[in-house]
Amino acid sequence: MIGIADTGQAETDLTLGTLPCPSCAAPLQPWGHARARSVRDHGTTTVSLRPRRARCRTCGGTHVLLPAVVAPRRADTTAVIGSALQASASGTGYRRIAAQLQRPLSTVRRWIRAGRDPAHVEWLRAQALNWLAQVDRDVIADLAPQPTQLGEALDALAAAAISLRTRVAPHIPPWTLIGQITHGRLVTRPG
C-alpha cells in the first residue's frame, strides 16, 4: 500500500512513469483498481473510493495507491479517528467521544488505546518532527507543551500539516496530510 495525499497528482505521476516502486525504485505503471469501498466520515457522510493499483515494471510487485483521507483496514476516515484522539488528549472519555462521533464504544476504545501507546505516540511525534524539519524548522521551536504525550504528538502533527498545506499543498485538507505524514498509521503501529 502506498499512501497518497493527492489522487490526481498520483494518477499523473503513474501515467508518466515517475511514481517509483517502494521495493526497488523502478517506475510503477497503472494496473487496474482495487475493490471499491465506502468509509464513514463525520456524521452520516461516507467517502466512496476505488483505489488505483500499480505494478512495478522491474520487480513485478503490485501496490494499492490508497488516498490518505482513509486509513488502511479502517471503516472510518483519518479525520474521524483523529478527532477521537484529539478529544481523548483533551480529557474526554471514550464513551462521550463514541456518542459524539456516533461510533461503537468498542471501536473508539480501540482507537484510544492504540493512540495512547507510548511507543506509538513517540513514533507519531517523530514523524511530525521529521516533516517539520524538512518543511519549516522554525515551527518546531514554537510547539507548546501539552498536558499529555498524545496531545504533544497531535500538536506536532497539526503543525506539520499546516506547514505542508501553507507551503506545498494548499488544496489538501489537514487530516489528509496527517494521514500522509503518518503513512496511514494514526492508530496502527508501524512495522
* Domain annotation covers residue 188: no
Comparing CA positions, the residue from 90, 115, 89, 87 lying closest to residue 99 is 87
* Domain annotation covers residue 95: yes
Instruction: Note whether 173 and 139 are same-domain residues.
Output: yes
For the stretch 70-128, pLDDT in tens is 998 899 999 999 999 999 999 999 999 999 999 999 999 999 999 889 999 999 999 99
Q: What is the structure's pLDDT at 188?
A: 82
DSSP characters over 93-158: -HHHHHHHHT--HHHHHHHHHHHT-HHHHHHHHHHHHHHHHHH-THHHHHPPP-SSHHHHHHHHHH
For the stretch 138-186, pLDDT in tens is 999 999 999 999 999 999 999 999 999 999 889 999 999 999 999 999 9
Instruction: Note whether 174 and 100 are same-domain residues.
Output: yes
**Which of 19, 43, 67 delimits the end of a domain?**
67
Provide the domain count of the chain: 2
Question: 29: domain range?
Answer: 2-67
Instruction: Note whether 49 and 87 are same-domain residues.
Output: no
For the stretch 15-54, pLDDT in tens is 999 999 999 999 999 999 999 999 999 999 999 999 999 9
